Chains A and B, each alone.
Chain A
């Protein structure tokens, strides 16, 4: 039934509560399966090979830099005294923050019944996993002697050494590894019915074998769906506090220290808001080009989705801006000379340009999203979200490097200068991230087909019946 006929029967008051359709152009269930699957089933497109031609060498460069670091020592990075945490921890927090948008979309928007999330959650969750992979590199290699990293795990060992469970660094190990594991489980659970679709469609024996194994024998019976839906709901319920806890725990690494500028209670909520802010920017950064390549996806990832995500960016960006101002206010109002000095050096010290870049990118630039024009013009959106992407990196750099560079006594002051290894490793992680994402687009359905089908009007078993 077309929307026009449906709307004619309604009174003016009822019309106001009719929501715009989530899937445009009245696409059918069959079209959704056929189109999403055709992305995987078709011949590998040329742009994919060209992109891989760029990102795979970048990934290899990253791995080469890491191998060089392991072979030589952590001194190949620019870390020094007093800046003992530098680009490595900056990049760790940057990447882990990006992951948060995926979990927010898949879990929190699921619990709050935001049905528009269905067409973007798969790609956003994939982005989460790949961002956490990039993030995990840094703390693992930052320990210096990587072959000793197993000391992080609480296993009885010959040295009789036990972990200090009161240390936020160990909390971080548990938080990040739990986050990664639960994200993989959540993502795979969501993939099972769609893998079954691919299994039932594919013709070649090899594909049938691999997708068949991966689909675990899914049949789509209601006796399976009811446990499945329950499991999905529980996973969403578990992931929601988890995602909020992960960046809170990351912020504890700073907040529980006694360093002026770090030792603040505002850090957990401020970090979480910043993570969602930066993460949504990254979702848009990769989804807009993906939809530009596969144009019919605009019927599923509509301009309305982009508009909503821009509003989330505007909201979280404003929370972050509020946190920046509140930090400054508390530094002044707290009347602690060291705290005041820390923020004075941040804003006007040798790293003033990083602070200014952070303020501009995170607080000023997203304000354009107050205007509907900037929220609904894809080119503008893509340009504007690059500012949060950059700004969130600067934020972590400001928090980490500028704070450490001005130690308690001026005799211990120093500056951080990245080495070429620092730079190439960081650039390389973008290659790794993009390579993983390209592989994902090529081999797995990038839109959650069964969930999109479930939000079509005809999926309602009472569709077309009179209102009760």
Chain B
């Protein structure tokens, strides 16, 4: 088995290359059934149904974005009623300054809800993905560069409780993985 990275550094995990989305999908199902927890599959594009193949639940991002949207909405309520009803109530075009003026406040409530939701979606996604980061052990492997082009990879991390070099290597080989490589850190 090949090894990349700094050989004296601890092993990050063992990775293997696959040639198609279909092979990767089947490998993922087998690894899931073997009971591994800390592992991932890598592909140039999102593969439909891979979450189920890996035994993962839905992303929590939707619920977090709801909270972001709520924040935006409440900001708009405060921002508009604060000055217009309390700090500097001013009658413009005969419109009231109390709660009945709310139709005129809808557009900004809507816009700020969308704005804060969008920020939450993007930065929440990055945070949950552990991004941005400047380096990663997997980048030590030259073949891994093809993951953004047309190759598919599986990596099982050394942190996994069921991890043992020999067992993982044999499992990946039995699933049809090629170029099985031990990935060391820097």
Contacts and interface: CB of A to CB of B under 8 A. Distances in A.
Interface of A: 28-30, 33-34, 154, 160, 162-168, 170-171, 174-175, 178, 181-182, 185-186, 188-189, 193, 196-197, 199-201, 212, 216-231, 234-235, 238-239, 241-242, 245, 249, 252, 450-451, 453-454, 458-465
Contact of A29 (B28, B48, B101, B150): B150
B4 interface: no
What 10 A-B pairs come out closest when comparing CB atoms? A461-B25, A231-B125, A29-B150, A216-B132, A162-B83, A454-B45, A166-B104, A221-B40, A197-B148, A171-B107
B115 A182 contact: yes
Contacts of B132: 216-217
B148 A170 contact: no
Nearest to A223: B40
A334 B66 CA distance: 44
B59 interface: yes
A249 B104 CA distance: 12
Given A165-B104, A222-B41, A241 B149 contact: no
A174 B135 contact: no
A344 B169 CA distance: 82
Given A221-B42, A235-B122, 20 more contacts: A165-B83, A165-B104, A170-B108, A175-B107, A182-B115, A188-B122, A201-B148, A216-B132, A217-B133, A221-B41, A221-B155, A222-B28, A226-B50, A230-B125, A245-B111, A450-B45, A450-B46, A460-B22, A461-B25, A463-B22
B126 interface: yes
A182 B133 contact: no
Contacts of A29: 44, 149-150
A453 B45 CA distance: 7
24 contacts: A30-B149, A33-B149, A33-B150, A34-B149, A154-B79, A165-B104, A166-B104, A171-B108, A174-B112, A175-B107, A178-B115, A185-B122, A193-B148, A200-B147, A225-B47, A225-B50, A226-B56, A227-B128, A228-B125, A230-B61, A450-B45, A458-B21, A462-B25, A464-B22
Contacts, number: 212
| SS of B interface (majority) | helix
Contact of A162 (B87, B124, B148): B87
Nearest to B108: A174
Interface in B38-62: 40-51, 53-54, 56, 58-59, 61-62
A171 B109 CA distance: 10
A225 B128 CA distance: 11
Interface in B92-134: 92-93, 95, 101, 104-105, 107-108, 110-112, 114-115, 117-119, 121-122, 124-126, 128-129, 131-134
B168 interface: no
B125 A219 contact: no
Contacts of A463: 20-22
B159 to A, nearest CB: 14
Contacts of A224: 129, 131
A134 to B, nearest CB: 21
Contact of A462 (B22, B92, B122, B125): B22
B80 interface: yes
Nearest to A197: B148
A166 B92 CA distance: 8
Contacts of B111: 171, 174-175, 178, 242, 245
A223 to B, nearest CB: 5
A228 B150 contact: no
A178 B114 contact: yes
Contacts of B147: 200, 219-220
B61 A231 contact: yes
Contact of A450 (B40, B44, B107, B139): B44
Given A219-B138, A220-B44, A461-B50, A226 B22 contact: no
Nearest to A195: B148
B118 A241 contact: no
A424 to B, nearest CB: 33
B72 to A, nearest CB: 10
B156 interface: no
Contact of B115 (A181, A196, A218): A181
B122 A200 contact: no
Nearest to A242: B114
B24 interface: yes
B127 to A, nearest CB: 9
